[in-house]
Structure 1
Amino acid sequence: MDIRKLDDDICVAPQITVDDVAEAARLGFRTIVANRPDHEEPGQPAMADIEAAARKHGLNWVYLPVESGNIRDSDVDRFAPLLSDAEKPMLAFCRTGTRCTVLWALSSARSQPVEPLLMRARQAGYDLSGARPRMEQQAREHQD
């Protein structure tokens, strides 16, 4: 399992398997967030099977499917509360981890400076420079 840390509360990963759930629990994760829709590609593990494994290992499960390459503001609105409300640490996954990272960055930009978020994503192996304008928009729209 290729786990990449974004901050102390959340890590992201490419598609996980049912067997990976036990390892996630052993590593101390408390919540698993699935951002990949079921049946996105042939051969992908069923989300119901991963959910069952998560529950078996005492982990919280959140299924928040997001279409690849089409993250809407409503998706960010559903993801953002997880950063404050979900039991931590969280492991979010999708096909490559990019979708989860973009959701984290857009959500976090509502309350944190954009540049450090871009740097943390880059350190985790995700170049979100193309998302900067949208992150800045999230910051402007959600200023107190």
Structure 2
Amino acid sequence: MTITPIESRLSVSGQPNEAEIADLSTKGFALLINNRPEGEEPDQLGSAAEAAAAEAAGLAYLHIPVTGPGITHEDVARFREAVESAPGPVLAHCRSGSRSLTLWALSEVLAGRLRRDDLLAYGRERGFDLSGAVRWLDTHGDTPDGT
């Protein structure tokens, strides 16, 4: 699992295994957010196993399962609130880290902290393609109320 720092309070990664989750608190993380739907791949760890591993490591755990086209304004708001209210740094993951970064980048655009025109560069600078976030904004609007 490669951890990519995004902001001081957020990093993203691909799917961690149980040993990697156990090590997260020693790296300073306080919250693990899982953005993968259950059963996305047959060999993924799964929410219950992740929650148990996070608890054993002293981490808070939150499951916000999303797929790119199915992301809602509520998903974006829940993700932002979780990151902002966490007692320390957050690691959010999906299969590659892209959906987790997409949730954060969308929340930044909706909050007026990131310009829509800067989304692709923002993703590229962090090693991710955020063209899906641009398409999401085309469909859902770039304000919190969807206009």
What range is the shorter-chain TM-score in?
A: 0.7 to 0.9
2:134 to 113, 132, 144: 132
SS of alignment partner, residue 84 of structure 1: helix
Runs in 1 of length 4+ with deviation above 4 angstroms?
115-118
Report the Cα offset of residue 117 of structure 1: 5.4
1:123 aligned onto 2:118: no
Distance in 2 between residues matched to 1:125 and 1:107, nearest whole Å: 19
CA separation in 1, counterparts of 2:48 and 2:10? 22
Which is further off, 77-86 or 115-124?
Answer: 115-124
TM-aligned CA deviation for residue 130 of structure 1: 4.7
Pair 1:113 & 2:114 matched: yes
Residue of structure 2 equivalent to 1:56: 56
- Structure 2, gaps ≥5 residues long: none
CA positional deviation for 1:75: 1.4
Q: Cα distance 1:29–1:118, how it changes in 2: closer, same or farther (>3 A)?
A: farther
Deviating more after overlay: 90-99 vs 38-47:
38-47
TM-score (norm 2): 0.84
The residue type equivalent to 1:72 in the other structure is T
Note the alpha carbon deviations across 1:86-116, whole angstroms, 9 max, x for none. 2221000011111101100011211302255
**Deviations, residues 113-142 of structure 1 (Å, cap 9, x unaligned):** 22555434222211214523618933x446
SS of 1:33's partner is strand
Cα RMSD for the two superposed structures? 2.2
Query: Where do 1:35-46 residues align within 5 Å?
Result: 35-46=35-46
